[in-house]
Structure formats: structure tokens, C-alpha cells
Amino acid sequence: MSSLQAGTEFVLRLPRFEGPLDLLLYLIEKNRLSIEELELCPIIDQYLEYINAVRRLNIELAAEFLDMASYLLWLKSSSLISINSGTEDSELVNPMAELKEMLAAYRGIKIAARNLNERQLLYRERFPKGRTPKVEADVSKMDIMAILKAIASIRERTKHYVVSIKRDRYHIREIMGRINSMLQKKKKVSLVEVAETRVKSEIIAIFLAALELSKASIVRLVQKSIYGTIYMVRRSESFTSQNKRDPLRYK
């Protein structure tokens, strides 16, 4: 079978295909067919062979190649159906004709692209007055020192905009524990007392911890007036071992 040979050949040619249409055109040409007399069966088999060969090499294939594969299979199956039922659908769009049209259009563009390439003299053979083309720096060809230098200069330039942020992490459970031990010494603790710092995130964590404790019926939250100090008052019996629920495990 020629499939194996063909497979290896395709793999070598891989980078040349711009897309599924390009690959199809190649296969058509290889089979000495014209777009007009395109026969699907051999082309589909070779197309799928190519895709499998590429996948065996673990090369990531553009999704478009797979789209086309399923489209071709669908086309093949629908053409079989239409032969069997004997209905030449004249009203419906002939999907085969559509594919041929796509291939012809793409081939036109491919040739036009080649023609453009041949036309280009400027910036290749002749250079215009005083205008340097924008040349992209090819990072792969740069030595590591140049890259490090570039990074350093970017750092230097952007130094003023870099603000280092220290993230304070407060665990609500940890603060619930803290409140617990405070409430063991006295019956009533204000939220503000619990705070060890003035950091906003800690205040928020304390507030959430207070809500959790209240929800677990361990404390009662008391506030005498709007904006007044909020106190947590230990609920008498709930805090003892009678309470089966461990507040620290409360989520």
C-alpha cells in the first residue's frame, strides 16, 4: 500500500500548507485531477491519512484541518445518499459544487499571492529614499545579554509605576478562635478590641467572624445605636462543651 509512503511524504511537507484548502489543492494536483473532475473518495482518504500522520507526531493541527475533515466525510456520506435515492437535487445547493467553488477561489488567491511576491522590488532590489522599513527584532537570533539588557531598561523605565503590595491574609476561622479565647476571659468583647492592627482586611475578617459566631449561636451581636460600637456577648450555655458543634469547625 502506498499509504505509508504517502504519509511520510506529507509530514515532510507539513509546513507548506497554509490551511485545509491548501492541502486539498495539493492532493488534487498530486492525483492529477482538476478541481472540476474532483473525485472525493481518494482525496478524502489521503486527507485523513495526512491528518493522522501529523497527529501521530503529536504536532498540534489547526482546528480548521479537522473541521474540513468532518466536512469532507459529511460530503461523502451525503453524496452516497443522493446516489442511492437517485435524486439529483436541483433546487438545493450542491455541496460538492460549493467545495469546488471554494477551492477555485482559494487557488486564484494563492496564485495572486505568488504573483504579488514576484512583483515586489521595493525593499528587496530597490530601496526608496530615506525610508527604512520597520524591521521586527528577531528575538530568536538575539543573544541572551541583549535580552537581559532590554528587560533591565524596561524595569528602569517603569520603576516609578511599580507599587509593591503586601497582601495580608486573615483567616476567619483564626479570628473566630481569637474571639473565642477573649470571650473566655470576659463575657462581652467589642469588635474593635479584637483587631490587632488597623488593616482594613483584618477589620473585614473580624466582622465576618462575628457574623459567623452569631450564626452559630455562640455570640449575640449588640449595637446600642447606629454607628455605635458593636459588641459580641457570649451566649451563656452555648459556649460550654454542651454545645456539640465545634465553632472552629463551622464553615
Partner 1 sequence: MYTRNVREIIEALIFSSDGALEIKDILKVLPGISENEVESMVNELNKIYDETGRSFMITRASNGYMFVSRDGYTQYIKALMPPFRLSRASLEVLAVIAYKGPCTKQDIDLIRGVDSSSSLKTLVHHELVNVIAGRPLRYVTSKKFLEVFGLNSLSELPDLDQFEELFGKA
- Of the residues 127, 146, 148, 201, which one makes contact with partner 1 according to CB under 8 A: 127
Q: Which CB, 125 or 143, lies closer to partner 1? A: 125
- Of the residues 58, 60, 93, 119, which one makes contact with partner 1 according to CB under 8 A: 119
Quick check: 134 binds partner 1 (CB under 8 A)? Answer: yes
- Cα–Cα distance measured from residue 9 to residue 49, given in angstroms and rounded to the nearest whole number: 11
- Of the residues 62, 147, 222, 248, which one makes contact with partner 1 according to CB under 8 A: 62
Query: Do residues 183 and 189 make contact, with C-beta atoms less than 8 angstroms apart?
Result: yes
What's the 3-state SS for 52-114? HHHHHCCCCCCHHHHHHHHHHHHHHHHHHHHHHHCCCCCCCCCHHHHHHHHHHHHHHHHHHHH
| Closest approach of partner 1 to the CB of residue 124, in Å | 5
Residue 7: partners with Cβ closer than 8 Å, 6 or more residues away: 49, 50, 52, 53
Quick check: 131 binds partner 1 (CB under 8 A)? Answer: yes
Q: Which CB, 32 or 157, lies closer to partner 1? A: 32
- Of the residues 30, 76, 100, 110, which one makes contact with partner 1 according to CB under 8 A: 110
Which three cell numbers, joined as nine digits, stand for 179?
Answer: 474571639
Quick check: 113 binds partner 1 (CB under 8 A)? Answer: yes
- Cα–Cα distance measured from residue 102 to residue 66, given in angstroms and rounded to the nearest whole number: 17
Q: Which CB, 137 or 192, lies closer to partner 1? A: 137
Quick check: 114 binds partner 1 (CB under 8 A)? Answer: yes
- Of the residues 2, 92, 93, 128, which one makes contact with partner 1 according to CB under 8 A: 128
Contact region with partner 1 (CB under 8 A), list: 38-46, 110-118, 177-185, 208-216: 110-118
| Closest approach of partner 1 to the CB of residue 72, in Å | 12
- Cα–Cα distance measured from residue 217 to residue 206, given in angstroms and rounded to the nearest whole number: 16
Quick check: 142 binds partner 1 (CB under 8 A)? Answer: no
Query: Do residues 217 and 172 make contact, with C-beta atoms less than 8 angstroms apart?
Result: no
- What is the size of the binding site for partner 1 (CB under 8 A)? 42
With vertex at residue 25, the alpha carbon angle to CA 23 and CA 30, rounded to the nearest 5 degrees, is 95
- Cα–Cα distance measured from residue 103 to residue 73, given in angstroms and rounded to the nearest whole number: 17
Where on the chain is the footprint of partner 1 (CB under 8 A)?
A: 18-22, 29, 34-36, 62, 64, 68, 102, 105-117, 119-129, 131-135
